[in-house]
């Protein structure tokens, strides 16, 4: 996917200016499209029209891009730019490449050419009605309770790039510009809306009127704020349309509180009441921070885990300390790493459930590949679960491996290694050697352990499907399970068909371990 980019397309929606993240695009059903970097600007407009408006005779009149702008404390706010031609499109691609560690996609807002009938439609007034605020109605939630940030999942649709029609029509003012409050945008440079500024937030402080796209965005902004400021809050009301919180030191020297309400007509959440800023100090919380939960840490360390999934927990703790200036617990760090691994590679259960599908796809793609399963009944405690069987053992070999062994030396070496993490077991591997002394893997198996039955399962399938010629030499360590499996093989791995030998390195290692005399 290095030569492609994911576009998140917003259309027939709204652009929110005064939000905590700066400018935000909102629409009912945003569309995800994957395009190559080599796509031209006119082809891009054609793909957008095809995916969004295939039933209407309309063309794109305006494309706005939401780009990141680093601000204080390493946090990011967003502004907008026009995508008007080939040069601006490639500039946007360059910005994405530089920031892809924090951006999963490129966000675009699309406006279409309007017909005369559309222009006669009056824009709906979204001014919200005033709401009464009665603090006495708030029910106190326990100090330990909080809202978890929801994860966003994005299903990418790999688009087939179509030939696009050029847009010969002159540029038209997009419809959303006719409802902009230019005074609220604070600057003469916004007269053409070329660079929309972030909301007027003094030193990262909230203000009444700031808008959020969702409830999850409110909670994320609250957590970011409290972590950055070294303060904490307690949730007093958390309802589908209201979020109300106070400083944990409220009435004890700090009057900080915030109320955010869902505005039905504006399709957003808005700060309706705010007493800022905090007068409590960092000493009021511990070395760790309650709002710096494992989900936030998981998102922060995801690029590290993606590069090195085996990264040590202590290295993650050091990274979090440098990034947030807090030292989190070992348990929280471990949970965060597991969540990051799952978000990148998928969960353990899902991976095991998908294993038969992957093997089926492999055999469908290459029918000469070999896969053989053994399953066993499932138990919950001591009780048998009816009609359910789980993976017991699996053997597989790719056809290129099978074919390569025909040209290798008549030597096969087998060994196994532990599988760690959630599901235990053993990975068994068979390798051979070509004429240039290069190692060639030829077969694999996942089994329950180095038992006689497991090695018999592996060696019998290896002999049947891969090592089909006679006169081969089998090299292994001196494990009793291997010797037992060979004795059960009915001569498949015994003279004259094969010869079983022990690995000299293994013998040397055992000799040194027993006698502890290297000179011998």
Q: What is the 3-state secondary structure (H, E, C) of 267-299?
A: CEEEEEEEECCCCCCHHHCCCCCCCCCHHHHHH
How far apart (Å, rounded) are the C-alpha atoms in residues 347 and 365?
A: 25
φ, ψ (nearest 5 deg) of residue 237: -150, 130
Which helix (H) or strand (E) segment holds residue 323: the answer is helix 313-324
> DSSP readout, 106-156?
EEEEEEE---HHHHTSPPPP-PPPP----GGGPPPPPTT---PPPPP----
Determine the Cα–Cα distance for residues 116 and 457; give it in Å rounded to an integer. Answer: 74
Asked if residue 27 has a cis previous peptide bond (ω within 30° of 0), the answer is: no
List own/partner pairs for 25-32 with CB under 8 A and 24 or more apart: 25/64, 25/66, 25/107, 25/108, 25/109, 26/213, 26/267, 26/268, 31/157, 32/6, 32/7, 32/8, 32/105, 32/154, 32/155, 32/156, 32/157
Q: What is the pLDDT of residue 289?
A: 72
Closest to 218 in 3D by CA, of 274, 290, 269: 269
> Closest Cα to residue 82, out of 62, 59, 96, 68?
62
Kindly report the backbone phi and psi dihedral angles of residue 314, in degrees, each rounded to the nearest multiple of 5, phi listed first.
-65, -30
Give pLDDT, residue 415: 94
Strand ranges across the sheet with 233-239:
31-36, 4-11, 106-112, 60-70, 76-82, 22-26, 14-19, 211-212, 268-275, 257-263, 242-247, 233-239
Q: With H, G, I as helix, E, B as strand and everything else as coil, classify residue 506.
A: helix
Q: How many CB atoms lie within 10 A of CB 327?
A: 14
Q: Which residue has the tokens 């704020």?
A: 225
Helix 313-324 / helix 294-307 crossing angle, nearest 10 deg: 120
Residue 156's CB is within 10 A of a number of other CB atoms, namely 15
Largest CA distance in the chain: 98
On whether the CB atoms of residues 118 and 233 are closer than 8 A, the answer is no
* CA of residue 349 relative to chain centroid, distance: 17
Question: 77 with 66: CB under 8 angstroms?
Answer: no
Quick check: 96 and 1 in contact, CB under 8 A?
no
pLDDT computed for residue 19 by the predictor: 67
- Please report where in the chains the tokens 């946007």 appear, as a residue: 92
What is the 8-class DSSP label of residue 250? B
**pLDDT per residue of the chain (520 residues) written in tens, 0 to 9:** 467 888 889 888 888 876 667 788 888 888 888 888 888 888 888 888 877 765 454 678 888 888 877 654 445 667 888 888 888 888 888 888 877 776 778 899 888 776 554 444 433 433 334 333 333 333 334 444 444 433 333 333 333 322 332 333 343 444 444 444 444 444 433 333 333 333 434 456 788 888 888 888 888 888 877 777 777 787 888 788 888 888 877 777 787 888 888 887 777 888 888 877 776 655 444 566 777 778 888 888 888 888 888 888 888 888 888 777 778 888 888 888 888 888 888 777 777 777 888 888 888 888 889 999 888 888 888 888 888 888 889 999 999 999 999 999 999 999 999 988 777 889 999 999 999 999 999 999 999 999 999 999 999 999 999 999 999 999 998 889 999 999 999 999 999 999 999 988 878 887 888 888 777 7
- Residue labelled with tokens 């498949």: 492
Q: Looking at residue 26, what is its pLDDT?
A: 86
Name the nearest CA neighbour of 211 among 264, 260, 274, 273: 260
C-alpha 160/C-alpha 401 separation (Å) is 34
Residue appearing with tokens 């038209």: 172
Peptide bond preceding 277 in cis form (omega within 30 of 0): yes
**φ, ψ of residue 434 in degrees (nearest 5):** -90, -175
Quote the pLDDT of residue 432. Answer: 96
CB 487 within 8 A of CB 473: no
Residue 175 in contact with residue 13, Cβ under 8 Å?
A: no
pLDDT score for 29 = 82
> Which of helix, strand or coil describes residue 466?
coil
Q: How many CB atoms lie within 10 A of CB 65?
A: 22
**What global pTM score does this model have?**
0.47
The burial of 294, by beta-carbon neighbours within 10 Å (0-12 exposed, 13-18 middle, 19 or more buried), is given as buried
């Amino acid at each position: 996917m290095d030569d492609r980019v994911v576009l998140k397309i917003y259309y027939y929606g709204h652009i929110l200016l005064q939000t905590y993240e700066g400018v935000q695009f909102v629409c009912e059903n945003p569309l995800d499209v994957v395009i190559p970097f080599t796509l031209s600007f006119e082809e891009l407009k054609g793909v957008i029209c095809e995916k969004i408006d295939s039933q209407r005779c309309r063309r794109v009149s305006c494309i706005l891009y939401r780009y990141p702008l680093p601000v204080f404390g390493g946090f990011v706010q967003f502004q907008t730019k026009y995508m008007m031609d080939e040069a601006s499109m490639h500039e946007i691609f360059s910005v994405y490449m530089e920031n892809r560690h924090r951006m999963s996609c490129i966000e675009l807002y699309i406006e279409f050419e309007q017909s005369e009938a559309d222009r006669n439609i009056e824009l709906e007034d979204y001014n919200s009605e005033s709401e009464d605020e009665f603090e006495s109605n708030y029910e106190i939630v326990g100090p330990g309770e909080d809202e978890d940030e929801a994860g966003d999942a994005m299903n990418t649709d790999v688009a087939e790039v179509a030939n696009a029609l050029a847009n010969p029509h002159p540029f038209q003012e997009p419809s959303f510009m006719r409802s902009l409050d230019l005074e609220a945008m604070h600057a003469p440079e916004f007269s053409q809306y070329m660079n929309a500024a972030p909301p007027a937030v003094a030193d990262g402080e909230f203000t009444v009127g700031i808008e959020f796209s969702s409830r999850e965005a409110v909670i994320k902004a609250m957590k970011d704020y409290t972590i950055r400021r070294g303060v904490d809050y307690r949730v007093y009301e958390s309802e589908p349309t209201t979020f109300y919180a106070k400083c944990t030191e409220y009435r004890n020297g700090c009057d900080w509180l915030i109320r955010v309400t869902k505005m039905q007509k504006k399709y957003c959440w808005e700060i309706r009441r705010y007493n800022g800023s905090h007068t409590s100090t960092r000493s009021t919380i511990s070395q760790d921070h309650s709002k710096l939960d494992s989900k936030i840490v998981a998102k922060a360390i995801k690029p590290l885990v993606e590069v090195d999934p085996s990264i040590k927990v202590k290295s993650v703790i050091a990274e979090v300390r440098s990034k947030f200036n807090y030292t989190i617990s070992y348990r929280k760090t471990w949970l965060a790493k597991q969540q990051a691994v799952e978000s990148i590679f998928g969960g353990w259960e899902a991976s095991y459930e998908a294993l038969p599908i992957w093997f089926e796809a492999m055999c469908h793609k290459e029918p000469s590949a070999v896969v053989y399963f053994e399953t066993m009944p499932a138990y919950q405690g001591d009780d048998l679960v009816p009609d359910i069987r789980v993976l017991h053992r699996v053997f597989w070999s790719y056809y290129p491996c099978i074919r390569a062994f025909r040209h290798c030396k008549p030597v096969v070496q087998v060994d196994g290694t532990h599988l760690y993490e959630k599901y235990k077991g053993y990975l068994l591997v068979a390798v051979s050697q070509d004429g240039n002394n290069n190692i060639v893997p030829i077969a694999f198996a996942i089994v329950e352990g180095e038992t006689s039955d497991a090695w018999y399962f592996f060696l019998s399938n290896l002999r049947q499907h891969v090592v089909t010629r006679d006169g081969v030499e089998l090299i292994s360590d001196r494990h009793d399970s291997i010797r037992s499996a060979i004795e059960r093989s009915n001569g498949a791995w015994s003279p004259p068909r094969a010869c079983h030998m022990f690995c000299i390195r293994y013998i040397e290692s055992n000799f040194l371990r027993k006698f502890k005399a290297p000179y011998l």
